[in-house]
A and B are shown apart, each in its own frame.
Chain A
């Protein structure tokens, strides 16, 4: 057997570590209940190790498997986002996954496998690898969103997610098939070279069809309007810790995959002109629908689901600019968005914990009345996350929006930037509404104190630190995400 010279196994060490931990957790989880208890600690330490291994790869751009996986800065930043998101999700699950009993092993191992899928998706520069990463990530999430299989809401969410997820995968696949037909290659850079040469003469029908189908497929995955209808249902029905993971890491992974495809294969100027306006349209539709429907919600979890659609709209503005500054903006936004959204969903999950019954399904706004006096620290953290989601300085959300809108203005998309600012102002209404409930409404009755687990408190603390740090000292991360592609 002949091995290619540049196999460089060490570059996939973080993925191997996470996969191995996932398998170990799975085996542990099948045993008696004592080992199920250990599963979460193992999952947490595996994630930490993978984080360290990823950080060790920093600064040495590496290719492995004959260029099919590229561990450049773009990939490494996103990998750290996934791993941090996974770690915080494990912390938030300490209490909520206990209701699963023996099946908590499955839960944690699927979470780890899902993270591996995301890493493969964003490191892949070959359409086959990207497809496999996408599927590992999606299939794990189908199961995770329906992990409470005895509850109708959870199963309904899983089924909706599965049907629309598989449907969108078909579109991405058909797009890949057309791209393959138009170029004869599955390697993104190679496709880019061939299409770039062809674009000088004419753009072929297969290329346009392939690009269109892939945009539709990825628009489903990032929940862009009009392909968003699954997101609120799935976000509401899934366990809250998993919802936070889906809203942050999965969105980051889908954007990472999309950017890889766009910038490696469709970056020739003539082709950029074809997809730029499409994303501008998607961005406007997504901001309008996400923000306006969020105004009408009285369930906090569903409200945040629509808010996450709206944030996909802001990110799409940066995609529409089709510039390197846009990519930098997206990466910065994804990191800051991960901290604030994970934190907000974490608080929702902690408040939703009812004694003895596991997690409640309803997260009505009325339950937040008077929280500022019953649980001052928790409510303070939630306030900060909500202010950050609105985009108020000195939080990470403000800096994220600032960089995205600046990229839009810099590439003469002033209209998009203005719309983004207007809709950020509208979003203040529903975010601040929660704060009003927490501080200015009287609690309905006594005896509904949420009990906060130690691990959950640590998870919230990390999210809080990230949100504040990126808001106060954004230049560190902004420098790191430079010169990416």
Chain B
């Protein structure tokens, strides 16, 4: 069965929008990190859809690089979050008010 590329693109657009909304609206930093992962996966879906549509491998190779980099990014993000948790005992974005003009 052939999947329509436009269907994949629409799904990825919806996922990307949900991710963006999550980063902008949610207060828990863990949920924000999850939203960023969602956005990255929406991008991956777009690459895969275009790759199938264009019959070119570049898109699929790009997906692997995005996954590898996303893993590295998640490691660093969670490490920073743990350091913050040790200092503060909570992981809420509302408490980040030490720095402001």
**Which residues from chain A sit less than 8 Å from chain B, CB to CB?**
127-128, 131-132, 135, 139, 142-143, 146, 149-150, 152-153, 155-160, 162-163, 166-167, 169-170, 173-174, 176-178, 180-181, 184-186, 232-233, 236-237, 293, 296-297, 302
Q: How far is the CB of A177 from chain B (nearest CB, A)?
A: 4
In the bound complex, do residue B40 and residue A156 qualify as a contact, i.e. CB atoms below 8 Å apart? Answer: no
Q: Mark B59-101, 1 if CB is under 8 A from A, else 0.
A: 1011001100100110011011101100110000000101111
Among the listed B39, B73, B81, which residue makes an inter-chain contact with A159, where contact means beta carbons less than 8 Å apart?
A: B81
Q: How far is the CB of A26 from chain B (nearest CB, A)?
A: 16
Which B residue sits closest to A159, measured CB to CB?
Answer: B80
Which B residue sits closest to A187, measured CB to CB?
Answer: B58
In the bound complex, do residue B62 and residue A128 qualify as a contact, i.e. CB atoms below 8 Å apart? Answer: yes
In the bound complex, do residue B99 and residue A181 qualify as a contact, i.e. CB atoms below 8 Å apart? Answer: no
Q: How far is the CB of B94 from chain A (nearest CB, A)?
A: 12
Which B residue sits closest to A182, measured CB to CB?
Answer: B50
By a CB distance below 8 angstroms, the chain A residues around B42 are 174
Q: How far is the CB of B91 from chain A (nearest CB, A)?
A: 9
By a CB distance below 8 angstroms, the chain A residues around B81 are 159
In the bound complex, do residue A166 and residue B73 qualify as a contact, i.e. CB atoms below 8 Å apart? Answer: yes
Among the listed A139, A173, A180, A302, which residue makes an inter-chain contact with B76, where contact means beta carbons less than 8 Å apart?
A: A139
Among the listed A146, A153, A173, A178, which residue makes an inter-chain contact with B99, where contact means beta carbons less than 8 Å apart?
A: A153
Among the listed A128, A158, A177, A237, which residue makes an inter-chain contact with B65, where contact means beta carbons less than 8 Å apart?
A: A128
Q: How far is the CB of B20 from chain A (nearest CB, A)?
A: 8
Q: Could you list some 23 contacts between A and B, CB below 8 A?
A: A127-B62, A131-B62, A142-B80, A146-B83, A150-B87, A155-B84, A155-B87, A156-B84, A159-B29, A163-B23, A167-B36, A167-B39, A170-B19, A170-B36, A173-B66, A174-B46, A177-B43, A177-B59, A180-B58, A181-B54, A185-B56, A237-B98, A302-B101
Q: How far is the CB of A6 from chain B (nearest CB, A)?
A: 19
CA distance A157 to B80 in the complex (A): 10
By a CB distance below 8 angstroms, the chain B residues around A232 are 99, 101
Which A residue sits closest to B54, measured CB to CB?
Answer: A184
In the bound complex, do residue A174 and residue B43 qualify as a contact, i.e. CB atoms below 8 Å apart? Answer: yes
Which B residue sits closest to A186, measured CB to CB?
Answer: B58
CA distance A180 to B60 in the complex (A): 11
**Which residues from chain B sit less than 8 Å from chain A, CB to CB?**
9, 16, 19-20, 23, 29, 32-33, 36, 39-40, 42-43, 46-47, 49-50, 53-54, 56, 58-59, 61-62, 65-66, 69, 72-73, 76-77, 79-81, 83-84, 87-88, 96, 98-101
In the bound complex, do residue B54 and residue A152 qualify as a contact, i.e. CB atoms below 8 Å apart? Answer: no
In the bound complex, do residue A135 and residue B69 qualify as a contact, i.e. CB atoms below 8 Å apart? Answer: yes
Which A residue sits closest to B58, measured CB to CB?
Answer: A186
By a CB distance below 8 angstroms, the chain B residues around A297 are 101
CA distance A302 to B41 in the complex (A): 36
Among the listed B29, B46, B56, which residue makes an inter-chain contact with A177, where contact means beta carbons less than 8 Å apart?
A: B46
CA distance A127 to B59 in the complex (A): 11
| Contact (A167, B101) CB under 8 Å given A131-B65, A162-B76, A177-B46 | no
In the bound complex, do residue A296 and residue B56 qualify as a contact, i.e. CB atoms below 8 Å apart? Answer: no
In the bound complex, do residue A180 and residue B50 qualify as a contact, i.e. CB atoms below 8 Å apart? Answer: yes
Among the listed A139, A160, A174, A237, which residue makes an inter-chain contact with B73, where contact means beta carbons less than 8 Å apart?
A: A139
CA distance A156 to B95 in the complex (A): 10
CA distance A78 to B40 in the complex (A): 29
Which A residue sits closest to B88, measured CB to CB?
Answer: A152
In the bound complex, do residue B83 and residue A184 qualify as a contact, i.e. CB atoms below 8 Å apart? Answer: no
Which B residue sits closest to A149, measured CB to CB?
Answer: B83
